[in-house]
Amino acid sequence: MTDTPIKMLLVEDQKLMRVGLKSLFEDQNEIEVASEAQSGKEAVEKFRQYHPDVVLMDIGLPDISGIEATKRILEINDKAKVIILTSHLSEKEILDALHAGACAYVMKDINTEILKMIIITIKEGAMWLDPQVVPILREKNCGVIPPRQMSRAMFKEQHANLTQREYEVLKLVVDGMSNNEIAEKLTISEHTAKAHVCNIIQKLVVDDRTQAAVKALKEGLV
CA 76 vs CA 31, 37, 44: distances in Å: 23, 17, 9
Residues 6+ apart with CB under 8 A from 187: none
Classified as helix, coil or strand, 42 is helix
pLDDT band of residue 145 (cuts 50, 70, 90) is: low
Listed range (56-60, 69-73, 82-86, 122-126) with the worst mean pLDDT: 122-126
Strand order in the sheet with 128-129: 31-37, 6-11, 54-57, 82-86, 104-107, 128-129
In CATH terms, the fold of domain 151-219 is Arc Repressor Mutant, subunit A (1.10.10)
Burial class of 156 by CB neighbour count within 10 A (0 to 12, 13 to 18, 19+)? middle
What are the residue ranges of CATH 1.10.10.10 in the chain?
A: 151-219
Identify the bridge partners of residue 15 per DSSP, sorted by sequence position: none
d(CA 51, CA 66): 17
Q: β-strand 31-37 against 104-107: which pairing, if any?
A: unpaired
Task: Specify the CATH class of 6-142 in words.
Answer: alpha beta
What are the residue ranges of CATH 3.40.50.2300 in the chain?
A: 6-142
pTM > 0.85: no
Q: Give the end-to-end CA distance of the chain in Å, rounded to a whole number.
A: 20
Tens-digit pLDDT profile for residues 98-137: 889 998 899 998 888 888 888 988 888 877 888 788 777 7
Residues 6+ apart with CB under 8 A from 147: 154, 220
